[in-house]
Every structure is written in C-alpha cells, then in structure tokens.
A and B are shown apart, each in its own frame.
Chain A
Amino acid sequence: MQVETDSKNTAPAADVKGSTQAVSALTATHIVRAIGVRKTFRMGDEEVHALKGVDFKVNRGEYIALMGPSGSGKSTLFNMIGGLDKPNAGRVFIDEVDIAALNTFELAWLRCHKIGYVFQTFNLIPVATALDNVMLPMLFADVPQAEAQDKAVELLKKVGLGERVFHKPVQMSGGQQQRVAVARALANDPAIVLADEPTGNLDSVTGRQIIELLREINQTDGVTVISATHDYKMLSVSDRIAWLTDGVIERFASRDELDIKEGRTDAK
C-alpha cells in the first residue's frame, strides 16, 4: 500500500517538471507572473478585498522587495507566490506554471522543489539539529540520505555555520538560526527564495548580515529572492521595490531611483 501512495506522489512531480522545462525554454524571463490577481476573504458578513487586481512580474535572478503596511495585501500576494493560496480571479504563474491548475500533490512538489522559504520566526524544527533541519526538504524530495547529508553540510558551511552542524536551534542565536533557515531554503536548489520579514526578529547588525547573505546567494547562484519587508536596510540591496497599498501595487521603484528615496527617508 505504501509503495503505491509514494509512487503516486512522485508521478505529478514528473509532469510539472516536464511542462515547466518545455515552457521555460521558450520564455523564461519571468519567474513569477501575476496577472489581474484578486483575492477576497469573507469575514462574517463582510467581504474583505485583500487584493484588487494586482499585476506583478518578477524577472529570473532578481532581488525584489515587497513593501507595504500590514493589511495592504502583502502577505496574501506573498502566499500566492509561495503556492500556499490561490486567487479568486486572475492568474499566478510560477516558472510558467499556473498554480490554479495544480492539485495538492503538485503544489507540495512546487513548494518542495521550486521555492525556498525563510520565515520571520525562523521556524526550525526544535527537536532536530541544524543538519537535520537542512536535510528535511531533501527528505521530502526523496534525495538519498548520504547525498542529502553531504549537501546539507556544504550548505551550512556556505552560510558560515560549518562548526555548528550538530547544534540544535536552542543552542543558537537568532542570527544563526536564520542562517540555518537560509541553508534549508536552498536545500533543493529552488528557483525562488521567499523571505517573509526575514529580519523582523533580528537586531540591525545580524539583520544586515542576513540581508547580505540573501544578496550573496542571489548573485552567486542566480536565485530569485522575493522578500516581504518593513526593513529599510533591505532596500539598498534590492534590484526593485514594489509598494503595495490597499490591495494594489502603488508603484515600482528601481535601484537607481532608490538611492534618492533612501536619502530622503534618512533626512526625515
């Protein structure tokens, strides 16, 4: 029985991968495309329009910051890019795959192979060592254990934690835990790293280190980094910034415009 269910799990994976490669050979410049995305939640009798027609494109290899006050729909948009939620109207493509067309297994496959998550609260598995935490996504991806272990050690070295492979989360500082989380996000060579307020629970020095680490993996590995943030330190490394207000993207800013903006912010 077990063999049967597991083989079912891997079958859609192959489909998604196949279609992805076929399409991405043709287009491939946009890793994320959101077209006219709307999302409405019901809260009692009231309807809350979290997203009111968002158009959003992210280039492959871009480092993009998503800014906006809470309640702006930022997290809703973020969840859709992460394959955690589906829009009511409009379409979201991740690597040219329409997420609305995917079933539960395929969404899990997408999250496992295409997307790496970094959370505000680190969300490491408390009972597991740094190594086991980094190996977890590879376990979900059915990577053989020996291979997974080698890769996990390599990733932990890369984020500067080569000495702390067997430490548990409680034995590490916040910054170190977030580094483990970044290593874990990279475990299955994702196309996108989604960082949700990655510096929200860190002091400004460690926060800056995490931002620089994300920028580094973005530049050396070509991983697209999409980060929801309130942190102005994030702006100086971002290629582009999207401001979200009341469920629509108010404006985009490129890095060139940004220096002026940041100057102005500092001056205030």
Chain B
Amino acid sequence: MLKNYIKIALRSLFKQKMYSFINISGLALGVACCALILLYTTNEWSFDKFHSKSDRIYRAWTLEDYGEGDIYFNTVTPFVLKPTLEQSIPEVDQIARRYVFNDLVKRSESDESFSTSIQAVDPEFFSIFDFELLRGDSEQIFSGLNEVVLTPELANQYFENEDPLQKTLLVMMGGEFQAFTVTGIIEEPPTNSSIQYGLLIPMEKAQTVLNPNSLLNWYSVTPETYVLLNEQADLTAVQAKFPAMMEQALGEDYNEGEYEVGLQPITDIHLNTEFPVGIASVSDPTYSYILGAIALLILIIACVNFMTLSISRSTSRAKEVGIRKTIGAERHHLMYQFWGEALLMTVFSVSLGVLISEFLLPFFNQLSGTQLSLQLSLNTILLYSGLALFISLIAGIYPALVLSNFKPIEVLKGKLQIKGDKNIFRKGMVVFQFTISIFLIASTLMVNKQLDFLRSKDLGFQKEEVVILQTGLQLGPQMGFSQITQESVRKKELFESQISANSSVLDLASSIYTPAQQGWIGVDFKDADQQTRRMNINFVDADYLNMMGIEVTEGRSFSDEITSDKRRAIIVNKALVDDYGWDNAIGKKLPGSNFEDHEIIGVVENFNYQSLRTSVEPLAMSINPSLLLSGIANIGFFNSPSPRISLKISSENIPETIREIEQTWAAVSPGTPFDFQFLDSSIDSQYRQEERLQKIAVSGSALAIIIACLGLFGLASLMISRRVKEIGIRKVLGASATSITLLVNKEFTVLVLVSILLAVPMAWYAISVWLDDFAYKADMGFWLYVLAGGIAIFISWATISIQSIKAAQINPVKSLKSE
C-alpha cells in the first residue's frame, strides 16, 4: 500500500513539474531561512553554558546610588571586591578577576611590535572556567609574576612553527617593555563565550603598574569579578550578606542603600541588556527577534503557498479520489495518502532547504555578524525531521481534509466545484502573503531612508577627508591629562614642521577625543545650589575648532595669539547655554565652585559629536585639562582617553598622502604604531547595527516577495487553466488579447490593493517604534508607502502577465475543442 502511495506521489510530482518546483523550492527557501535563524538563536542562547560549573558562576555588579539620579551601575568592579568577598562570604569557592587593556607586544627588542589586547586574570581563571589549558601545568600556572599564556593562534603569530613554551615575549607595561615567559597554551575561546581572550598575564603582575590607591579604592571600578559559589550555596542567602559586608568594608563612609553589590549568573550576561556592558560583550536580543520574526514570516508564506497550491491542484487528483472511494477506500486512507504526499514534499523541501542554508551561511554570518557553522548531529537531524513533520502537518492537513471529503459521484461526473475556487480562503492567503511582503518592502525602504539621512545629515563639522591618527599616548602613573595633551600637541607641532613641504595635508590639530567616539568624557559637578550638573568635556588645541570647521556663533574661537586662552579659556556649545538658561554666555563662568579661574570665550553651534541616536548634549572644551577637571565630582569615559591628531587632507591621491603621513609619523614618533582611521568611515561605523538591519530587511523582503510571487504564479496559471474555455468564448465573441490580460490581472490586483491597505498601518507602526531610537529621524513620507505598494503591484503584474498573456493568445479553436 505504502509503495503504491509513494509511486503515485512521485509520479504526480513529476507529472506536474511546475507546481512541484514552485512548492518545493518555495518551501525550501522558507526552511533555509528557518534553519539559519534556528542556528543563530541556539547559538545566542547557548552563550556561556558550556562551562561545566555555569550554574554556579556569577559576575559581580556594583550599584552606587546617591539620590537625585546620581547613579553608578557597573558590571566592572573595584579590585578590592575579590579579597573582601573571600573574607566575608563563606559560600564563595573561588574568584577570578579579569581586565583588558591594549598595549604593544613583541618578540625581541629588534622585532616589530603588535598592538595586542591583553587580559590580566587571576590564577583561578583556569579552574573556574572550562577553557582548556592545552599545554602547561594548570597547577603551577601563574605562580610566577612574569608568565604569559597564549592561544594557539597568537602563539602561531609570534613564534610561527617554533615551540612557544618557555619562549620570551616582551610586553609594554607602565611605559616600558617587560620580559614574560610563555608557560601555557590555552584553547581558543569558543565563539559562544562572553569571555574572549588572546594573551593572558597574571593579575598580580598587571597591578604593579597601577596606582596603588586604585587597588583599594571602592569608587574606582576596573576588572570584572567572576565568583564561583560552592554547590550548597543559595544565591539569595549569599546576596543577603552583602550589605553587612559593605558596611564593614566602607566603615564610616557607609550609608544604607548607597553602595550595593550583587551577582549576575554568567549565562545571563550575553542577552541581558538591562545590565551595563562590562568587558564581556552583550548582544541586543531585539535584532535576533527581528531576524526570527522575518524567518517565521517567510516560512509561513511558504507554507501558505504549499497549502493553496495543493488545494488548487487538487482538481487533477479529484478523479483519483472518486475512483478510490468507489473501490472501497475510506476517508482515512485518503487522508493518510495526501498527508503522506505532503510529507514527502516537505522532506524534499527540508533537505533542499538545509542544503541551501549551507550555501547561504557565509552570507548570513555577514548579516548577523556571527561565525556560525552548520553541523549535522543527531540532534539537528531530529530537529529538521521534526520541522518537516510540523510543516507537513500544518501545510498538508488542510488539503488532505479537502481532498478526502470529495463526493465520488460529483467528481466522477466532473461536476466538482472546489470550495477554494470562489471562497475567501485562497484569496485571503494571497492577501496575507502580499501584506507581509509589502510590510517588509516598506520597512526596507524606510530603513534605507533613515540610513541615508544619518549619513548625509550636516553634523556641524567637516567629516570628509579627515584622517584621525592615534598618538598611542595613555594615561599612566606619570602621565596625567595635562601631560598627554601637551605631549600630543608637541608631536603635532613636530609633525607640522616636518610635513610643511607636502601640500596634501592641509591642516592639523590635536584633541583627546574626536567625533564618533561614544560620549567623550562625561562629568558631573555640583553647582551653587548643590544641584548635580552633567556635561561632556573634551580637551583640544587652539586649532581644533577651526580645522574641523565647527562654527563659533558667539564670542570667538581659541587663539594662539592670546596666551591666556591656553590657561583659562573655555568654549561651550549651544546645548549647554540652553541647559543653564543663559542669555549671553560670553564672559560667564561654569556654575560649579571648585573650577579654577576660567572664562567662557565662545559658543559653538550644536555639532553632532555623538551618534545621531542622541540629541546633542551640553559640552565644554578647553585647552587646559585641569581647568575643567578641577571642579568636577565624578568622571566617566567609555574608551580610555588617548589624544589623537586630526589631519585635513586634500581629496586628491589619498593613498599617496597616507603614505606620506605614515613616513612622517615614523620620524615624529618612532616605535609608535601607525594607527589611523578616516573620520567619515568611523562615523558611519556607528550605524553598523542599522546597516545590518538594512541588509536583513532587504534580503528578507526579497525572499518573501520571491516566495509570494512563486505562489501567485502557480495560482494564476491554475486559475487560467480553469478559465481556458471562458477565455476562448470571450475571444470568439471579439475580446482582444489586451482585454483578456486585463480581465485576469484585475482579479489579482484587487487582492494586492487590499494587501496594501492592510500592510501600511502595520509598517507605519513598526517603523515609528524603530525610529524612536533616534533623536534625528528622516520623515516617513507618504511616497514611501506608495512606492512599496507600487513595487508589489508591479511585481505581481509581471508575474501574472506571463500567464495571462500566454492564455490570451491561445487560439480559441484549440481551447474550445479540448473541452
């Protein structure tokens, strides 16, 4: 029996090649999407779960709350938290801290140096986590200070084919190269690990170059602290002991509720955006939701195709149903048969889909910013079989029900009227598919528009042809803000004197921060009424505003001629003036009491130094760092402050100019790596997430419309094949080919129009939710929806017309004779 069913299924599959092709390929595309998304989401959800003790590992957080919104919530912690926890909390098994800094590493004095991300970790790092030490003695590791552990990739980079163990590496620490011995090789961190690393050194060693005060200070946060609790520990009970611990640790500084410590499960880090980002990266689940929703929609469209086509196609199977019933088939026999056929088709489709997903994987990785790979394990095979079964159930059951319900005498007499012919179901499905497609098209258009808007908006400064050069200067024990800014200006002037012959570099200036760096330096200070004021600050040289083309609207810019500018001049932006409610800012002072002697000499236009997600925040700039640093109560920055030199270059022969700059830089600052970026590209990179969304939206809507059109193509051809006689009669009565084409197209156009009406409000809502993220938005023009609808109508017309024009040209003699 089964053999008979399979035979029939395969033969009818091959007999109606076009429908089989449409059904299988459409569903396969849907399945491919789904397979990729499944891969992505399982990867997202598996983050950090590979540690065998993952249920006992927590990351500590601190929350300082001094009232009036003066809140500091961090997942990086004070260094002193580790010894304090070890002393006060008996449930603690082990604690490992880690922090990351970038510095230069080289093999020997004469070698080239690499800028490398260096992780300082406690020895417990190797026992708490499951990162496997491939070589070296895990008991002894980091028992000495000058030890270093590498991943195989880095080991290969430094030592190529030599055995790296016991080799020496020079690492820049505290301004000088220090020798380390390689004592271990550790496996590459898995891609689904929040903790990523390459080169590890002992925390104890890293601490020797830090300010000793910061190691005991509860208000300075640097490392992440990972806590392994013992097996009996109860998280709530442990956390309940923290207030008492803090009271003891802070002594008389302790006020209830001001300084909280807590633990976050390690498996929660990756997808929880409510905690501030520490060192471990966090992924915003929104984008995986969007990705998942699009994949699901595409799968639904494909399933709908499958259903509508199967039902429409069923006329050709009706006779068989009738015969089988007269021979004695019961309804359940026929249900099994047709459902079985659906299953066969879905098994084909799913297998094909998995193949397609394998091909699409590199492209998908690019879209989602991941490095996923497809592994066929028993689990995934079970998963895909389950998916096939599920799809065949939802897509196959309805056609099976319809088909098995045919009355034999009706179908055998050819009187059959499939309900789907006139009923709302099939039309509803077309509307449904097109609603989704139009929704996706409109969203894609809007994402495009917003991105164009972000890229082309006048930011209030010159962003083209500006090269940002890293000086590599860092804050350190002997290097305060004043020292590094002065050093940077010195290098800039030296650079200027060397390069004067070269006309390609038109202008240059030094500053601590440049646009497109998140937040610059955020500071708080108390004004005369003890109100907390917030602003961002930046330290620039006298040429910076001029060079960047930032417009000074009141007062004047910094000047080299007026020597007091270097000491006491401040320039603020319009947002700060508005924030403080000043009519005229010139000559005024910042309202804090502790600032050194200063004067506001100018006000600049609100240029967008941050990303366009936020509106311009109050900003103060000075040449003298201590001027602004003296009066503040709190300071925070995202990236460690390091001066940069901005160079305005001519637009001609840029590669040549870059080479000149590199050569000059090597002379000006020997030993410092040449690290540069174009300002406009780093500004664009702020919107990488949006660009990713754009790519997802484009490919998603393209797929959706392709699958929907496949379905439409099939439906149109079925409808026409049933109307061949009508078309023939109309032609005999004098209808032109054009009028027949229009007749057929009209029916579907109405459906597409209905879809537009449904899709527009949905798209409008989704888009406005997304745009809420931005302080600066492109307007959602009416034309956008017109265009989205127009595209849908155009594509559907193109699809149907292939069929209807063909039908309209059939000689009526043929079509009528065949009846």
Asked if A pairs with B, the answer is: no
